[in-house]
Amino acid sequence: MGCASSDQKHHKDSKEHDHNNSANSNTSHLKRDHRKQNNQDEDIVIAQYDFQPASDSDLQFKKGDRLKIINDNGEWWLAKSLITGYEGYIPSAYVARVYTLEVERWFFKDLSRRDTERLLLAPGNKPGSFLVRESETTKGAFSLSIRDSTPEQCDVVKHYKIRALDNGGYYISPSTTFPSLQELIKYYSNDGLCQKLGSPCKTGSPQRPWAQDEWEIPRETLKMVKKLGAGQFGEVWMGYYKNNQKVAIKTLKEGTMEPEAFLQEANLMKQLQHERLVKLHAVVTNEPIYIVTEYMANGSLLDFLKTDDGHKLKLPKLIDMAAQISEGMAFIERKNYIHRDLRAANILVSDTLHCKIADFGLARIIESEYTAQEGAKFPIKWTAPEAINFGTFTIKSDVWSFGVLLTEIVTYGRVPYPGNGFFSLGFRFPFRRV
């Protein structure tokens, strides 16, 4: 009996070993996530998402395909498919190098603590959702971040430092060590910390990077699908570029504004690149002029705050949205620009509730102050008194507008100073409880 039992156990272990090798062919790095691989392995990547080409130079692939990298400069890499043998360009954000942690759905390489909390608290995630990121403070260490829920308060994110052992391996508590991060994740998926580890943090597919040489594009490459809004000088549409990349398209009504001024906005947006500013992709320079930008699924902050989902946001999330906007405005200030039209209607919101500053139609570069031309129109309720009275704008003018924007956020999009069509000198507004 004893010999038979031993043989059966050995046979079972062998079958499990073979099954694991077959099932995890793309993740054979589990026990060696930080070992040095040869140069050939370092050039191999695994597709994390499906990719459909938009031009003849792009390389099509499906999730799980392996590709060999030929040139890894920039956002677009030259690669060869190990499935088809074809060569072409691929978006680097869609692939991960083999034998690295990047192939794990729960690993986020370059992510700050604050952005971690934003991702985990975004719609689509729930208590138990988690991710692992590189530590901001300790080189070689990692952090495990978990979304937690308590009856007394709204969901929060808790962080646990993962330390490395001198002889290899990792631990959160010194009493329990693991040979790899994968084993650590497996253990706490069953045992748990503040929560048992559930699903990796959901983020959706990364945005397709824009080709660097596609700045002035033909109108025929754009397809207008849904009108999102209209302003003094034109309209904003959701559409597609080359039928496969969703974009926002801003149009200019012919005769309502000098084309040069409209294109000046485009050139300004092109210069100001920051994660909290809406990214400009391309322009159509023949009238009617179009500006093509990244698409933000939830539209303007003003409209979103008035929706059912917007009304569900708690104060900590509202404060975080304000913090995101302040990050973008701090960048604009460092570049010696002023926005001049900062309000909730000009903030756009993504599907993960990331906020970005848009509509640079009034923005100007300054030395210390800027005096508006005679006849210029201002959004009165958001404009600082000195700008209204004298047409003088400084960074401080944007700070005033930001203060008014804060009232829009905490009142879920209510019009500032309701009931007041104009102001009298010395008038004091009544106190209103939020």
For 239, phi then psi, to 5°, come to -155, -170
Which residues does 270 contact at the CB level (< 8 Å), separation at least 6?
215, 280
Active site residue 351: no
Structure tokens at 162: 């993962």
* CA-CA-CA-CA torsion sign (307, 383, 330, 279): positive
CA distance between the termini of the chain: 77
207 with 294: CB under 8 angstroms? Answer: yes
Candidates 148, 320, 341, 398; catalytic one: 341
Eight-class DSSP state of 61: B
Check the annotation: does 250 bind a ligand.
yes
Distance between CA atoms of 89 and 210, rounded to whole angstroms? 12
> Can you spell out the DSSP letters for 402-420?
HHHHHHHHHTTSPPSSTT-
Q: Which residue has the tokens 């701090």?
A: 330
Distance between CA atoms of 349 and 356, rounded to whole angstroms? 7
395-410 and 315-334 helices, crossing angle to 10°: 170
**CA contacts within 13 A on the Cβ side of 261:** 12
With b for 16 or more beta-carbon neighbours within 10 A and e for fewer, the 136-147 pattern comes to eeeeeebbbbbb
Does residue 225 sit in helix, strand or coil? strand
For 163, phi then psi, to 5°, come to -100, 155
Which residues does 135 contact at the CB level (< 8 Å), separation at least 6?
141, 142, 143, 161, 162
- Angle (CA) 121-124-129 rounded to 5° is 60
Which residues does 301 contact at the CB level (< 8 Å), separation at least 6?
321, 344, 345, 347, 348, 349, 355, 408, 409, 413
Residue 100 to residues 131, 393, 410, Cα–Cα distance (Å): 16, 51, 43
Q: Which residue has the tokens 């990349």?
A: 245
Q: Is the peptide bond before 418 cis (omega within 30 degrees of 0)?
A: no
**Of residues 214, 52, 198, 205, the one with CA closest to residue 130:** 198
* CA-CA-CA-CA torsion sign (404, 407, 408, 414): negative
Which segments are annotated as binding site for ATP? 250
Catalytic amino acids?
Answer: 341
